[in-house]
């Protein structure tokens, strides 16, 4: 089951390009356009930076910008260019992904589910993802022995829906 999603926006890091360079500012996939899109998304959805830590986060949030496209420390990201990302709970997919696709301009966007932690990242990024714009290489290799089916079991959304249904039944049940 899909536990959450990430929206990744790829761009060309150009902070080292002097403003006197004739091509500076002409690239619609540069960091200027990327920063503007990130700022617009953060403001539109009124979100904050994600807390630093693994696992399922409680709400829509923004990850730090990965200026080098390779992450840091023990969590190297699989991207070949600079990127930034947002954590998207399942219930926010329907409002965030269409907004991003409609407002991305020339920037390339990867949306992927998070299914079973880091161990399913190759499938999440390569098989169960969608792209807006051009598809970029991703540094993952699909496992040869593991099943490529979406992991079975109730998703966190299923669990929340069941809890909400139970509460509604309790509230509407006639009192004896």
More confident residue, 71 or 86: 86
Which of 70-79, 112-121, 136-145 is predicted with the least confidence, judged by mean pLDDT?
70-79
Q: Residue 84: exposed, middle, or buried by beta-carbon count in 10 A (0-12, 13-18, 19+)?
A: buried
**How much is the mean pLDDT over the chain?**
78
Does the pTM surpass 0.85? The reply is no
- The pLDDT, as a whole number, for residue 73 is 44
**Spatial distance between the Cα atoms of 100 and 84, rounded to a whole number of angstroms:** 13
User: What is the predicted pLDDT for the residue at 126?
Assistant: 83
Return the CATH number of 4-172, one of 3.40.50.1220, 1.20.58.110, 3.30.70.1240, 3.40.50.300: 3.30.70.1240
Give mean pLDDT, residues 63-86. 73
Distance CA 25, CA 27 (A): 6
> So where are the chain's domains?
4-172
Q: Are 83 and 139 in contact (CB under 8 A)?
A: no
Residue 108, C-beta contacts closer than 8 angstroms, at least 6 positions apart? 9, 10, 29, 131, 132, 133, 134, 135, 136
Q: Decide which of 102 and 32 is more confident.
A: 102
Distance CA 61, CA 1 (A): 21
- pLDDT band at residue 75 using 50, 70 and 90 as cut-offs: very low
**Confidence at 149, pLDDT banded by 50, 70, 90:** low
- The sheet carrying 61-62 orders its strands as 48-49, 61-62, 82-89, 4-11, 108-114, 130-132
- pLDDT band at 24; cut points 50, 70, 90: low
């Amino acid at each position: 089951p899909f536990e959450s999603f990430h929206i990744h926006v790829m761009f060309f890091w150009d902070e080292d390009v002097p403003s006197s360079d004739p091509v500076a500012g002409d690239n619609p996939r540069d960091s200027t356009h990327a920063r503007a899109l990130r700022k617009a998304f953060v403001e539109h959805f009124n979100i904050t930076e994600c807390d630093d830590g693994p696992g399922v986060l409680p709400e829509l949030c923004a990850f730090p910008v990965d200026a080098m496209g390779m992450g840091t420390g023990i969590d190297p990201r699989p991207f070949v260019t600079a990127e930034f990302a947002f954590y998207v709970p399942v219930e926010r997919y329907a409002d965030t992904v269409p907004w991003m696709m409609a407002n991305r301009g020339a920037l390339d966007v990867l949306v992927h589910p998070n299914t079973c932690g880091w161990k399913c990242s190759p499938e999440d990024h390569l098989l169960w993802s969608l792209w807006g714009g051009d598809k970029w290489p991703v540094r993952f290799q699909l496992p040869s022995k593991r099943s490529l089916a979406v992991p079975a079991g109730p998703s966190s959304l299923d669990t929340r829906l069941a809890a909400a249904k139970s509460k509604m039944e309790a509230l509407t049940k006639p009192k004896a």
